[in-house]
Structures are given as structure tokens and as C-alpha cells.
Amino acid sequence: MLVAAAVCPCPPLLVPEVAAGAAPELEPLRTACAEAVRELLDSGAELLVVVGTGPQAQVWTEGGAGSLHRYGVDLAVRLPSGGVEGPELAPSLTVGAWLLTEARATLPTHACAVPADASPARMLGLGKGLADLADRVGLLVMGDGSACRSVKAPGYLDERAEGYDADVARALGAADVQALAALDPEPATELLVDGRAPWQVLAGAAEGAGLGARLRYAEAPYGVGYFVASWH
């Protein structure tokens, strides 16, 4: 059963060594993520699952490691439990592993990468399956909003982006499972939304769990929508 979730964005810039001179600009976001992860770890969950997008569907159940070498930083991180055998963690999961490392998490932790274009039905079903892995499951859900919030954004400015992100923020802040489940993949793809599939995994896991929510952060630095929320 899902007992708690933390929703965080997954830009590598969350890691101060990657952000370098821009690190202070993201300190409020970094603090919100740390608080959400701490609440997740304090929830009494007995198993954590980190969910984020990746180039293909993949799971890590015996540990896993990722690195930030591709961003010019000699830093490697690993999931809190298990070894480091198997494929490297997807970038979104690597950022999740870094957040858990910073929080000194020690719980058994699995990780799950999902394709950005995965169908909603598939993600909802996956979420239900993850919630059944243990009596008390916690999710760390990694994903960004639209990347089209300004002319300097990766996807340039799209007038739909602000409204899309506002709807997502409302859903995450209200634990609105139905609203997240109803997110359409097509506009998400057009607006370069990285988090749609992971958020729908959360929706599937949280169905019937009766969780409340708190939205900790909803801004768009660098023209990309970033959200931090706690479900409990």
C-alpha cells in the first residue's frame, strides 16, 4: 500500500557541483526537495521506489548506481540499498539517488525507469503494482513540467505551457489522482513535459490510498516547470 510520496523535478542542476555558479539560484528548490524527501523517509515506509523517465522501461531491485560524469562532474551516486551491479541508472533516477544520498536514506530502495511516451493505462497499472510490493510503500517521483515557459526555455515559448503547468501544480497539491490520470500524452510531448508518465505512476499507486498533499514549490526557473510536493 502506498503510504507516502515525494514529487521532485530531476534537473542535474539540483546537484550543486553541476550547477556551479548557478547553485544559489536553485537553493529554494533544493531545500523544498530535501524537505519532501525527509517527510517521505519519516513516513514509516518500509520500501522506497524511485520512479523517473528513461530511454526504456527498466527496473533496479538489487541496488544501482549512476554518475554525473556526462555533466562534467566527477561524482557517482547509488541507491541506498543493494549493490551497484547492472545497468547505470537513468539520469532522472540518478538525481533521485542523489537526493536520497543527501538525506542519508537507508531503506531498501528499488528504481523504475519508464519511457516518456508510455501510455497512461500502462503507467496507472504499473503504479498499482508498485503499491502492492510491500505493506508500506513510499515513492520518490522524479519529473519536470513543461520546458516551454519562456523564450529562453529549451523548447522556446509556448502559450499553452503556463496553463498546463498550473493544472499539474493544482493536481499535485491536492493529491488529485483523477486529474493526473487524465493527463494527455500528446500535449505533454509537444510541451517537452518529462514528468507526465511518472506522475501517472503515482496516480495509479495512490488510487484508493486516501492521501493528502502539500505543494512545496511550483516555479519555472530557466523556463522549465519544476514542482515539489509531498503526499502523505
- Predicted local confidence at residue 23, as pLDDT: 76
Residue 187 near residue 158, CB atoms below 8 Å: no
- The β-bridge partners of 227 are 218
CA 56 to chain CA centroid, Å, is 16
Position of cell 557517482?
76
**Segments in the chain below pLDDT 70:** none
- Predicted local confidence at residue 182, as pLDDT: 98
Total residue length of the chain: 232
- Give the other-Cβ count within 10 Å of 200's Cβ: 31
Output DSSP code: residue 90: P
Please give the backbone phi and psi of residue 98, each rounded to the nearest 5 degrees, phi first.
-65, -45
Output DSSP code: residue 83: B
Considering the entire predicted model, what is its pTM? 0.97
- Predicted local confidence at residue 86, as pLDDT: 75
- Give the other-Cβ count within 10 Å of 60's Cβ: 26
- Predicted local confidence at residue 47, as pLDDT: 98
Buried b or exposed e, range 9-38, using 16+ CB within 10 angstroms: bbbbbbbeebbeeeeeebeebbebbbbbbb
pLDDT per residue as tens digits for the range 65-85? 999 999 999 999 999 987 777
Strands (E), the chain: 2-8, 47-53, 58-60, 65-67, 76-78, 109-114, 137-142, 213-219, 226-231
Residue 76 near residue 66, CB atoms below 8 Å: yes
Element (H, E) at 153: none
Residue 72 near residue 17, CB atoms below 8 Å: no
- Predicted local confidence at residue 22, as pLDDT: 79
Position of cell 534537473?
11
Distances (CA, A) of 195 to 21, 51, 66, 154, 226: 26, 10, 20, 15, 10
| Nearest Cα residue to 79 out of 57, 52, 50 | 50
- Predicted local confidence at residue 162, as pLDDT: 98
Q: How far apart are CA 58 and CA 89, in angstroms?
A: 9
